[in-house]
Structure 1
Amino acid sequence: MIESALIRTALPGDAPGIAQLMSGLGFDHSVEEIIRRWSLVSDQNVDPVLVATRGSLLIGVLALHISLLLFYPQPLARITTLAVSEDYRRQGIGRLLVEEAIRLAREARCDTIELTTGLHRKDAHAFYERLGFLHKAIKLERRLVDP
């Protein structure tokens, strides 16, 4: 069931709500850290951040990155963050955010949208599969700094 929510571009004043949503994913980002990272984004068309609100409550966030890659014929869109407040999960908020991300990706002439999610996030895997995402690759990573 999709409940009503307003999806809009994030504003600097949304940083406290975004930090709180990120904590729901297990990240401990302060408001100051969210603002610092956001300031590094020079082009909101390449790295848009969307929020879902219901009234004055910020209940979801999605960050998208659009890039040109040597081996892709069109730009590629990547969902880099998606978080919905625990109280508003399973109400269609995540779906609304992803649908808006897809719209922005198409507007940017992307022919593919991708994402990564932790292996332990089985509910997230099922959610993305219901939205038409397919398992197409394995992501490998290597930390370059000591934790």
Structure 2
Amino acid sequence: MTELDDCGPEVAATFAEFATAMADHGFGFLRQRRDAGYRDGPILVTQAGRRVVGAIGPLTIMPDRSGREMSLPQYFGVLPEHRGHGHGRALWRAVERWSVHHRAHYQLLQARAGGASDRLFQSEGLRPLGYVSTVSA
């Protein structure tokens, strides 16, 4: 597990390929922000060989309306061909440690119901508190 900014230029360069493949998980947007010079918080990555195959971030903490520190939802994904090898679980557990270290009282999560992240969160003992849905205008 490495922060993207610390994994070296050879591996960091593969984040663009990862972000393109995982654009539907928000990584295309995150890559555009990074390319524009924004650093909204650390991005943790896992690798297979010298290639980024999983990522979660940006990691950000901010106070809620009552002043309690919360860890904001992150973009989270593992390339489909690398799922089932512990990358997602390693990323999630690293974020849990990061959030505790940075004194977050709680973490907001968002996951597609029944999707890979949702299944991982449930296997880690988390339970949904509610659901949000969209309606067409």
Q: Summarize the alignment of residues 60-75 of structure 1 with structure 2, pairs less than 5 Å apart.
A: 60-63=54-57, 64-73=59-68, 75=69
Verify the 8 A CA contact 1:62 1:81 in the aligned structure 2. Answer: yes
Q: Secondary structure at the match of 1:115?
A: coil
- Listed as ranges, the gaps of 5+ residues in structure 2 are 6-11
Deviation, structure 1 residue 21: 4.2
CA RMSD of aligned residues (A): 2.8
Identity of paired residues, percent? 16
Q: TM-score, normalised by structure 1?
A: 0.71
Checking the alignment, whether the CA contact within 8 Å between 2:43 and 2:56 is kept in structure 1 is yes
Q: What does residue range 36-115 of structure 1 map to in structure 2 within 5 Å?
A: 36-38=32-34, 39-41=37-39, 47-63=41-57, 64-73=59-68, 75-115=69-109
**1:118 Cα deviation after fit:** 2.3
Number of residue pairs matched by the alignment: 128
Please say if residues 49 and 61 of structure 1, whose CA atoms lie closer than 8 Å, have aligned partners that are also in contact: yes
Give the equivalent residue in structure 1 for 2:13.
13
Which residue identity lines up with residue 19 of structure 1 in the other structure?
A: A
| TM, length-normalised to structure 2 | 0.75
Distance 2:65 2:98 in 1: 21
CA distance in 1, matches of 2:3, 2:135: 32
Structure with the higher helix share, 1 or 2: 2
Greater displacement, 9-18 / 53-62: 9-18
CA distance in 2, matches of 1:27, 1:103: 23
- Unaligned stretches of 5+ residues in structure 1: 1-6
